[in-house]
Amino acid sequence: MLRHLDVAHDRFGLSTPFRISRGVKTAADVVTVTIAQGAVTGRGEAVPYPRYGETIEETIAAIRAIAPAIAAGLTRAELAGLLPAGAARNAVDCALWDLEARLAGTSVAALAGLPEPVALPSAITIGLDTPDAMAGAAARHAQVPLLKIKVDRSDPAAQIAAVRAAAPAPRLIVDPNESWTIDTLEVLKPHLAEWRIDLLEQPLPAGEDEALAGFDSPVPVCADEALHTAADLDALAGRYAVVNIKLDKTGGLTEALTLANTARAKGFGLMVGCMVCSSLGIAPAMLLGGQAAFVDLDGPLWLGEDRPGGVTDRDGMLSPPAPGFWGS
């Protein structure tokens, strides 16, 4: 039976601006893929990321270009040979997982040999702002298990100290989004343990992180922009202790599962992250959450309105979408 592909650009306004060292977002622009086989439909979502040279228009065009292959019954294994790792492949891969599970009358978790998703402690992100504003945001979430704070190179010591003082209990991820230099890191090194930072995420620019090989960090350093697929892992050895798996980088759940298994075998700790997206982008990633030491899947919590039936948060515990939303 032929399959029918539909691909669309959807926009979700944010309830408050999302600021990182690279800029400010006021909306989540996503590409939504629907693949129908008869009366059964699978869905997937991806966020094209300008940092990786991706645009909405080019992502949609790349997906439409493989419509004949999808119609003819393209498999997830075959997909990897048609699209590179990235947003376009992610949206199609996740739609194929969803469709496959529904056609089989089972769940994606069962197909993948994974436990069904459950509520997980997921980071609540404190966006980049003045130290006082960041402290105010942190105080409102001081009871959650895990905070993630976005910093830049302007005054990271004041930003981190303000958040830690306002929220002394949660575990803490600090994410400079590639904005630091090795000199910044050396200056802050004596304070990293003092602030009780649990993870430092991508402090130096990817491709310019060779200095991390000689840096004796008092806290684990995590690769984000420096990691896309399992093929990148060997180059990260000696520089990073943890890797951040995002489906928009890996090109979908299929490669993300391979990456997780390979990373663990090579001794890396795991983090599962996301872009600012809807719950359709988060549901597949939650399947990896149980394997990760750090989960950062709060993208939909920034939206003014999510897709109906999506994930829910209660005091930093993220619960899966309603049954039937994706993958079940």
Query: At 307, which amino acid appears?
Result: R
Closest CA to 258 of 240, 245, 271, 269: 245
Residue from 25, 148, 189, 246 carrying the catalytic annotation = 246
Question: 134 and 149 in contact (C-beta within 8 Å)?
Answer: yes
Which of the following is catalytic: 25, 148, 150, 266? 150
Between CA 44 and CA 300 the distance in angstroms is 15
Query: Tokens standing for 55?
Result: 């645009």
One-letter identity of residue 288? L
Q: Determine whether 246 is an active site residue.
A: yes
Total Cβ atoms within 10 A of residue 52: 13
Q: Which residues pair with 164 in a beta bridge?
A: none
Measured CA to CA, the distance from residue 109 to residue 289 in angstroms comes to 12
- Copy the structure tokens of residue 37: 């086989």
What is the per-residue DSSP string for 314-325? Answer: ETTEEEPPPTTS
CA–CA–CA angle 260, 57, 128 (5° rounding): 60
Question: What is the rounded CA–CA span in Å between residue 241 and residue 303?
Answer: 32
> Sign of the C-alpha dihedral, residues 90, 66, 97, 27?
positive
> DSSP secondary structure string, 201-224?
E--SPTTS-GGGGG---SS-EEES
Cβ density class 124-162: b for 16+ within 10 Å, e for less? bbbbbbebeebbebbeebeebbbbbbbbbeeebeebbbb
- Is there a catalytic annotation at residue 189? no
Q: Is the Cβ–Cβ distance between 303 and 278 less than 8 Å? A: yes
- Name the residues annotated as catalytic: 150, 246
